[in-house]
Structure 1
Amino acid sequence: MVKFTSNRLLLFGATGDLSRRMLLPSLCALNAEGLLDPQIEIIGTARSEMDDQGFRAFARQSLEQFLPAERRGGLATFLNRLTYQPLDATDPSGFAALAEKVGKPEQGLSIFLSTAPSLFEPTIRGLAASGLANERCRIGLEKPLGTDLESSKHINDAVASAFPEDRIFRIDHYLGKETVQNLLALRFGNLLFEPLWNAAHIDHVQITVSETVGLESRVGYYDDSGALRDMVQNHMLQLLALLAMEPPVSYDATNVRDEKVKVLRSLRAVADGETVIGQYRAGAIAGQAVPGYDEELGKPSNTETFVAIKAHIDNWRWKGVPFYLRTGKRMPRRTTEIVVQFRQVPHSIFSGRGARTVPNLLVIGIQPEENITLSLMAKVPGLDRNGFALRSVPLAITMPDAFAGPQRRIAYERLLLDLIEGDQTLFVRRDEVEAQWTWIDAIRALWAEQQLEARTYTAGSWGPSAAIALAERDGISWHE
């Protein structure tokens, strides 16, 4: 593998929503901090007809809307880095003009591909034919990368025809979040946790990704996808893999991803009764009335907007520990969090004095707030004449408050910088993707076999009551 820092960045889908909200603001923020190579040029391409000045005006408007003013330092310099070349990816003849616009990067070219899945193959062919897939070019791929294992392999084969694996960067933006990376620091940088991070000491784990939004602008995509493929297949399984993996030999792309894929391959096939699917109906979010999924879609559908799963990892470390995964739209609040509940103490010396102990709980908040909270048992102050009283008290670390100075970053800042510099550690390898799809496809096959219908739930609730029962029959309550 040849390491190089690119001095050209080519953005496909440069006029799309992801570019407006995330990519251009991330690049501008990196530029403001002097983290981009002074020589780097950023070329945008999409179907939209515009020239360089038009794209710069588009970028300025996006930055003023989505990037705080204090992070827009050197805006004029950043805008001058931008150029634009219109392209219809289905027309092979257009790639020659794109290659001319890109020029011959002395150091290398990084490509960020954010297009419809149907355009992947013609885009890769066009890049290869125009000389934009040589040994000094690497490519970042934004999801969705297929709808099942077969289609994912088809896309990956197409990309692999022009780019070897060490120059393919599959993006899961959750891996760019600070608190997700802090999972590794928490586990492997503290002797306190790793000796207890196993079935002997952990009772169960919960991972929740909840959204308050409905379909918004993703009507066509979401109804063909559903919550399982949209959230569980990528984001949630990546969180699970980081949480459950064995200690890697070192913090580098090969070793970290080797350990993640072992976890994903150890996932037990989900059994009958271990999943619940739901679809929201009209309700209220934060006091505002919102329509049901069928109303937003404009037709009946069995697509799930909520899924809860009881998962198991069949390996030495986690045998017998259930992992409860839950994600849904139109939930009461937006949150992504991991809850690790430790086992009860084997014997309470305080029970004879009327004290009750509860298990320690580690809560890792990823969004909207980044924090880590560990609940510990402590004695309630007093003279104990009426018994010895214990209470669970939190030790809380709010990550932005713990470190004075660092900015709260957009996840894509780190990922774009790693793409430009060629660090694959926070990107997903092909065998990971295929292990994820293998597990997801088995769940969907089970649903099809059972003809499982999505249960309705009111917008603003935590999903169907059956999801509560999924955990409660094991004596467990969802953390809310």
Structure 2
Amino acid sequence: MSSDHTSSCATDEKGNYLYTVIVLGASGDLAKKKTFPALFGLYKNKYLNPKTHIVGYARTKMDQATFEDHVTKYIKLKSEDDKAALKDFLKLCSYQDGQYDKDSDFQRLEQRLVQVEKESGATERLFYMALPPSVFIKVATCLKHNNYSKEIITRLIVEKPFGMDLESSRKLAKELGALFSEEEIYRIDHYLGKEMVKNMMILRFANVIFGSIWNRQSIDNVQITFKEKIGTQGRGGYFDEFGIIRDVMQNHLLQILTLVAMEPPVSLNSEDVRDEKVKVLRFIPPITREDILLGQYGKSEDGKEPGYLDDATVPKGSKTPTYAAATLFINNERWAGVPFVLKCGKALDQQKTEIRIQFKNVACGIFKSLSRNEIVIRVQPDEAVYVKMMNKEPGLGMKTIISDLDLSYSSRFNDSVIPEAYEALILDALNGDHSNFVRNDELDAAWKIFTPILKKIDQGEINPIPYAYGTRGPKGLTEFVAKHGYTRGEQEYVWPQHSAAAAAGKDQKAPSKN
């Protein structure tokens, strides 16, 4: 998408912007697992200006050697060239410890920034807040008082969660908005950086074949699914504060829904794109009790994997859901009456995220045992777009079978490298492009949909249904999706999961049923 950035920033001889990146919370898990690997990926692929300096800031005391070990822990090196690039990348990185609420510590940080910017000539600063929400405002306040200048373009990346409900989100937005302008704030939802999510607008608005069928006249229901095979793995205490709806559904899955359902924007300008997403959210009424199914995982059927309540960090008797299915309706001309079923959970039977658009039944009854057409957009793993369609089985008869038109990225684009989501989004922020970040009014509209049902869940009014670790989810799930129109069809179908190796005739893992 095009950038909105038109500032007169300093650039190098190749036209790359000159900036300083400050990672706040540099000693934490998010920084070492996502932020620093993403920055290295951008540097290695020459998207990061070679004069860029990266300053880590956190409360933990570390010397440079310890910091470099922390930075490189989750960086995967695939070649000798990668090793050489990492060596040069580390020369750009430095660390400073300090508290999150002391002006004096941020003044020391400012001295460091002035020094490195004098050497590099940088005129932009990107502050990445890889921090817990409890310190967002404290840190933002210190940054504004000690590290902000009108002469330097400043951008602030803020990680979710953006509040716990509508009230807390508005409070956070008000306090953050008093310090930084909306143009300076980048609320990151890493799912918006995933290749297949970013591809949604191209699929929808650059292909005339989809235009006339993308509506309630042709589509029966839409399923957006997020599955994780792992449980909370000792981090249940942290997860228990939020639950699966706040962790995944209210942000990741709802963002995907807006891209599936939005009208064509006037342009690829970030505000035009986000305007259309907000319009979709405003047409969605709050979720009702009848349109939600909750679950909580217990021990695996073989007893090897512990249940959620077996985690010592989880409060005894917790009713926090680890699985949720919710049906949303968009009451506008295009989508009225079409259920959008969002499903997400931990400790399930497989790992995947996908969008499944199921079309209405064929009106003509001359053929028997027909299954519905579907467009399936596989977000991860094994990125793909495939269309399920009916075909004649080869032979002398007229028997119908399910076949597909399959665009599997691993076979079609086997020479291409799909960037990590954080790489894509950090690059967008560096370029001043807000398109794939969450705007304040978008966040407000999203919380209006979920806050009423979250209050009921928080008050213990809805008991989650137990399900075994490693299964599809709670009892009643099949009936829940069927109630909202989804049918599996009478014929068995197995997605081939094409890959470069499969095309070469090599053995592959067994395909999953879809």
Give TM-score, length-normalised by structure 1. 0.93
Structure 2 distance, partners of 1:131, 1:225, is: 32
- Runs of 4+ with >6 A deviation: none
The correspondence for 1:464, drawn from 474, 477, 485, is: 474
The residue number in structure 1 matching 2:374 is 361
Which is worse superposed, 315-324 or 441-450? 441-450
Distance in 1 (CA, whole Å) between partners of 2:285 and 2:77 is: 43
Q: Is the counterpart of residue 181 in structure 1 residue 198 in structure 2?
A: yes
Quote the RMSD (CA, aligned, Å): 2.0
- Cα 1:72–1:256, aligned 2, differ >3 Å: closer, same or farther? farther
Cross-structure match for 2:316 = 299
1:409 aligns to 2:422 (yes or no): no
SS in 2 for 1:128: helix
AA aligned opposite 1:89: Y
User: Is the contact made by 1:246 and 1:259 (CA closer than 8 Å) also made in structure 2?
Assistant: yes
Q: Which residue in 2 is equivalent to 1:112? A: 128
2: distance between equivalents of 1:117 and 1:449?
A: 22
Equivalent position to 2:401, from 391, 404, 408: 391
Aligned to 1:101: 112
Note closer, same or farther for the CA distance 1:252–1:67 as it changes in structure 2 (3 Å cut): farther
The CA deviation at 1:339 is: 0.3
Aligned to 1:37: 49
- Matched AA of 2:113: V
The one-letter amino acid paired with 2:425 is L
For 1:83 and 1:251, how far apart are their aligned partners in 2? 37
Aligned residue among 419, 425, 429 for 1:419: 429
Contact 2:286 2:450 in 1 (8 A): no
CA 1:429–1:437 in structure 2 vs 1: closer, same or farther (change >3 Å)?
Answer: same
Count of residue pairs the alignment pairs up: 469
Query: 1:68 Cα deviation (Å)?
Result: 4.0
- The reply to whether residue 78 of structure 1 matches residue 89 of structure 2 is yes
The gaps in structure 1 that reach 5 residues or longer are: none
TM-score in terms of structure 2 length? 0.87
Find the aligned partners of 2:197 and 2:242 in 1 and give their Cα distance.
25
Aligned residue type for 2:143:
L
Q: Which runs of 5+ in 2 are unaligned?
A: 10-16, 489-512
- Map of 2:40 onto structure 1: 28
Residue 132 of structure 1: aligned partner: 148
- Aligned-residue sequence identity (percent) comes to 35
Find the counterpart in structure 1 of residue 305 from structure 2.
290
**1:8–1:40: 8 Å Cα contact kept in structure 2?**
yes
What amino acid maps onto 1:336 in structure 2? T
Q: 1 CA distance for matches of 2:233 and 2:77?
A: 21
Instruction: Answer yes or no: is the 8 Å Cα contact 2:161–2:246 preserved in 1.
Output: no
Q: Is the 8 A contact 1:99 1:132 kept in 2?
A: no
CA distance in 2 between partners of 1:229 and 1:329 (Å): 13
Is the 1:310–1:470 contact (alpha carbons within 8 Å) kept by the matching residues of 2? no
Q: Distance in 2 between matches of 1:28 and 1:73?
A: 12
Deviations 1:433-467 (CA, angstroms, capped at 9, x unpaired): 11111111022235468811111111111111122
1:230 and 2:243 are equivalent in the alignment:
no
Distance 1:263 1:474, change over 3 A: closer
Residues 272, 37 of structure 1: CA spacing in aligned structure 2 closer, same or farther, 3 A cutoff? same
**Deviation sequence 1:103-151 (CA, Å, 0-9, x none):** 2563210111011111111101100111336451110101111111111
Q: Secondary structure at the match of 2:273?
A: helix
Show CA shifts across 1:4-49 (max 9, x none): 4451000011121111111111111211111111221111111111
Which whole-Å CA distance do the structure 1 matches of 2:42 and 2:82 have between them? 9
Residues in 2 aligned to 1:448 and 1:477: alpha-carbon distance in whole angstroms = 32
Is the CA contact 1:207–1:323 (under 8 Å) kept in the aligned structure 2?
A: yes
Relative distance call for 1:67 and 1:367 in structure 2 (3 A) is: farther
Partner residue of 2:176 out of 138, 159, 165 = 159
Match of 1:473 in 2: 483
| Structure 1 counterpart of 2:260, one-letter code | L
Deviation string 1:130-183 (CA, Å, 9 cap, x unpaired) is: 133645111010111111111112222222122111111000000110011111
8 Å Cα contact 2:355-2:378 kept in structure 1: yes
How far off is 1:271 after superposition? 2.5
Shift in CA distance, 450/145, structure 1 to aligned 2, threshold 3 Å:
closer
Correspondent of 1:143 among 150, 157, 160 = 160
1:50 aligns with one of 55, 59, 62: 62
